[in-house]
Amino acid sequence: MPLTRGFLAEGPRVGIRHFTLEDAAEFTARARESRELHHPWLFPPDTAGAYAAYAGRLLRDPAKAGFLVCEKDSGAIAGFININNIVKGGFLSGALGYGAFAHAAGRGLMAEGLGLVVRYAFGPMGLHRLEINAQPGNAASIALARRCGFRLEGYSPGMIYIDGAWRDHERWAITAEMVRAEAASGK
């Protein structure tokens, strides 16, 4: 099936594509609508200027890759998934950050989108390992990591500075071998 709307990969209900500067109005409106859902875990850009700086970094920095998760039927942005701190060479890894927008939360769209990003990262991007760092109280983020096959690898006290304080995080990870083994088992 041919890819549509410039999608890098498609599933049954969503496609993933890179950020563009033209996505500012929709992205920032959805971020403003989703403040309550996101607080205190993340703070996506909710103004045109903040979005331009954010998207610009994702587009220019080779150590970052940003993906929008879009509903296939409407093209609406359901959420975003970024791969940060991409390291090449012997490491071939990156750290994932993500967020659903309120209108899409709880519908399974982010799980489908994260699966597409993982396969894209281990395929065309040539990465070997992806990590998710989630605050222990962020049940939705941890459930998404678990649902998408990530394994819990550890706990890091005071790992990331968020919302005015150093926050503890659980470290979840997945490797290309884990995804291949799951595909081979028919799961």
pLDDT (tens digit, 9 = 90+) per residue, 170-180?
999 999 999 99
For residues 83 and 96, the answer to whether their CB atoms sit within 8 Å is: yes
E strand or H helix at 179, and its extent? helix 176-185
Amino acid at 14: V
- Provide the H-helix boundaries in 61-175: 109-122, 139-147
Q: Cα(74)–Cα(77) distance, rounded to whole angstroms?
A: 9
- Between 2 and 120, the more confident residue is 120
The pLDDT tens digits for 127-163 are 999 999 999 999 999 999 999 999 999 999 999 999 8
pLDDT, average across residues 109-131 = 97
Residue 183 binned pLDDT confidence (cut-offs 50, 70, 90): confident
pLDDT: is 32 or 5 the higher one? 32
Q: For the chain, give the number of residues.
A: 187
**Is 119 a residue whose pLDDT tops 90?**
yes
Rounded to whole angstroms, the Cα distance separating 71 from 12 reads 9
What is the token pair recorded at 13?
């209900």
Counts for the chain of helices (H) and strands (E), in that order: 6, 8
Residue 44 confidence (pLDDT) above 60: yes
Quickly state the pLDDT bin for 6 (edges 50, 70, 90): confident
Which pLDDT does position 185 carry in this prediction? 86
Residue 76: pLDDT above 80?
yes
